[in-house]
Every structure is written in structure tokens, then in C-alpha cells.
Amino acid sequence: MRSKIVLLLLISGVLCNYSNKRKKLLNDEASLSMGSSIILAGNEIIVNDFLMKKKWEELDFGFRNPGSFIPALHMFDTLSRIEQSDVFQFIRKLPKGAVLHGHDTALASGDYLYNLTFSDNLYACVTNERIYLKFLKEAINESDCTWKPIHLLRQSVTDFDIRLKQQLTLIRANHREVYTDSNVVWNYFNKIFITVDPLICYKPIFIDYFYQVLTELYEDNVFYIEFRTILPTVYDLDGNTYGPLKVAGLYKQVTEDFMQTHPEFLGAKLIYAPVRNVDEKMMQYYIDTVRVLKKKFPDFFAGFDLVGQEDLGQPLTKFVKQLQKIKQEVNLFFHAGETNWFGSSTDENLIDAVLLGTVRIGHGYAALKRPEVLKIIKAYNIAIEICPISNQVLLLNDDMRNHPANYLIANGFPVIIGNDDPSFWGTKGLSYDWYMAFMGMTSRRTDLRFLKQLAINSIQYSVYHDKNLAMKKWQQQWNKFINISTSLHRAP
């Protein structure tokens, strides 16, 4: 009998030791995760209990029905379900701080963009391939186009609006059949700008459009933006065109006007981000423009980047000599590693980005394949701008549970969530991408602390001139949100 007791005690000790080791491993892992250093207190705990209840309900349903789990499915197939999610509705109301990765002419909602096609003085040219848009004083005939008022074409051309709507978005019911690889979807993506740019870049519309961008962000509880722009040529009905400096001035004026009527909004800064598929001569033009922008708009100009499909664009190595000359003068925010390839010029852009001293990395999707780059990112606290929905729509990743940023989040890397080009995939503001990150790219145990850290990161890794002020204003908004949420969700 005594020996049995001793054996039971030994077994109990072994199991207890195993249980303690297991618990320690879980706790050690959790302590590495993004947001783990935040301590929730008071009403935050009540709000977190509500949030986690809703998160677990969605996760449990998805675990039982994996074919219905929203972050595992394509965005185009689940948009309405996202909007019905209690977690999404919670995130919409949450103060999110800043958007640090978004492109100017693709930031307003798709519905707003389409409604612009009912504007006065808008003309269209219809070909077999596509519909072209332009604002004009009167109809004109060109060798390859006959321009007619768009309202007349709506009446006379079969399926005109169906075709036009398709040209303004990537959304397709049969998207898997249409977008067979990344080059194909990028081709469709780039062609949207052929339709959109003449629509948005008409001066009166251009001003209203950017005001709408700021409005939609403000309504989504975002109070600051650093936006990429190629500084497109803007035009008016009198034949005048406006170059980079004039366009930057328009953005600045709209921002100041918006802040006058929305005092809680902290503002915007411009990142000059022209296309990357150019030669050294054009790169020198970019650099000259950067220097003029910085001199003319020292408080509004944020820095420099290069945009466009990385796989088919020029690698950063081509421009290293030129970029080294300005890296001490301006902030660099390089798109780098937006690819599935390994050992290519595209993922090697990550190496050049960190060596050139980039302030943040746009996308960084291939970062896990570059362990030495990851060490530099961690050591120098270089934020990575993750755009979950963009990565899915442009065919880098299908299931958010498999996104490489999951590793970055689990290991406490400096991560920011951006929205990239929401106009073209049916979203609005920042909440959709935050939802995908929270529900699809974090642990079941990840809670309100992660969302709070996302907002804090968006301020800390910005180049806003007074981060203490920004943090103070955000904290006020956060406290208000927590108090309102507590009154709504406190247990009876």
C-alpha cells in the first residue's frame, strides 16, 4: 500500500512538473506577443471581457465550420459578413490613431468614387476595350475617341454602367477565374487608374475627393494620415494643368480646411511616392522634386518612396547611388518585399531598404525569408506596414491564418496595419484591415491589448511632429471609448 502511495505521489509530481513547464511555455510565448506589455485596468477589463466573448464566438463557429471562417475566405466573398460581425462593429468604434500606409487616389470608398461619375461636365469615350473618362467644356472628336456627355451614353450604350462599375473596382463574383496569377490581378489593378485618374484629377473633384478621404477616415475614428502620392497632374476646364508642387499645395490646403471644421483631426503628411519602373534619369527628376517639396512644404512633406508592382518594377539596387545622396536629407519609406518569391530582386529590396535607412517598410511580406534583415528591423525598431486585405486581393496570401505577419505579431515586432487601396476592393477606412488582423492573424488569446498597441504604434512610428500631443489626444479618445463601451457592455 505504501509503495502505491509513493508511486502516485511520484506520478503526481511528474504531471505537476509537466503542467508547470507547459504553463511557463505558454506564458513565455504570450509575453513576446505584440501588446503583451500593456496592462488593462478598470473599465478596460470590462470592455475586454465583452470583446473576447464576441471573438471566441466567431472563432468557435469557425473552428466547427472551417469553410465559413471569414479570415480564411476571400474578402470579395465575405464583405457583408464582415460588416455584420460584432467584432468588426466594435473595432469601427475604437480610436485607431493613424493610417500610415494608403495611396491617395485609391483611399475613398468605391461608392463615393462611382457617384463621382454623375458629375457635371463629365464626358466619356467608349471603345471595345474600355470606357475612358474626362471633364470637358464641350464634346470633342479625337482620332481615336469621340467624347460624349456621360449622361447621354448612360441612356444609349447597352450595359454602360455595368462596364463602368467593373472598371472602378477589382471586385468580381468569379474572381478566382478572372485573377489567375499575381501579374494578371496587378494588370487589372493598374488599369483601374487609367479610368480613375482623369475622374479624380479634375481640380474641383480632386479637392472634394481628398476632403472625402479625410471624412471617411475621421468617421472610422482615425485622426491622422501619412499618405503615398505620385502627385498626379491635375487639370481644369480651361486647359490649365497643375504639377507636383501645385498638387502638393492642394493637398495641404484641403487638410487645413478639414482641420478647421474637425478640430480633433491632427492632420496629414505627404509621402512622395512615384512609380518605381523608371531609369536613372527619371530617378534624378524624382530626387530633385523631393528636395523642392521638402523646402516648400517642410511641415507637410514626410518623405519619399517608390510604388508599383515590385516583381516587375526596378529593384532598389538600381538606384542605390542616387538614393544614398538623399537618405540623410529626407525620410525614406520603402515598399519592399511585397512578393512570394525568395532570392529574387524583389525580396532583396528588403536588404537595400534597411541598408538605406528606411524609416518604415511597406508590406514587408517576404521579411521572414530574410533572417538578417529581421534582426536589423528588431534592433533598429523599423516598423512594418502590413496591409492584410491588399495582400489577399493581390494574390500574395489567401488565408489570413497563414499570413507571415502572424509571426511578426507573435514575436512583438513593430507592426502597423494599413489599408493600402480600399477604393478598389469595397472597403472603407481602416477597420476592415484591423478586423482581419485581429481575427485572422493573432492568437485566440490575443485581446484588447493588441488593438490598443496597434493604435499606439500608429502614432509612435509616424513622423508626426508632436507625438506627445498625439498620444495625449488619442488617450483622451480611448478613455471616452472605454467609458461609453463599459456602459453598453457592463454585465447587469
Positions marked catalytic: 338, 363
DSSP 122: E
Residue linked to cell 511632429: 465
Burial of 246 (0-12, 13-18, 19+ CB in 10 A): middle
Q: Is 95 left (phi over 0), alpha (psi -120 to 50) or beta?
A: beta
Give the C-alpha separation, 180 to 196, whole Å: 24
Question: Contact at 8 Å (CB) between 194 and 130?
Answer: yes
Question: Contact at 8 Å (CB) between 266 and 472?
Answer: no
Spell out the residues 6+ positions from residue 418 whose beta carbon is closer than 8 angstroms to its own: 99, 100, 101, 102, 385, 386, 387, 390, 430, 433
Give the C-alpha separation, 446 to 123, whole Å: 51
Compute how many other C-beta atoms are within 10 angstroms of the C-beta atom of residue 184.
12
Which helix (H) or strand (E) segment holds residue 124: the answer is: strand 122-126
Which CA distances in Å does 443 have to 51, 58, 83, 478? 14, 13, 22, 23
Q: Is 223 helix (H, G, I), strand (E, B) or coil?
A: strand
Give the C-alpha separation, 88 to 36, whole Å: 22
Give the C-alpha separation, 256 to 139, whole Å: 36
Going by their DSSP bridges, the two strands 222-229 and 97-99 should be labelled as parallel
Give the C-alpha separation, 309 to 286, whole Å: 18
Looking at the DSSP assignment, which residues form a beta bridge with residue 99? 225
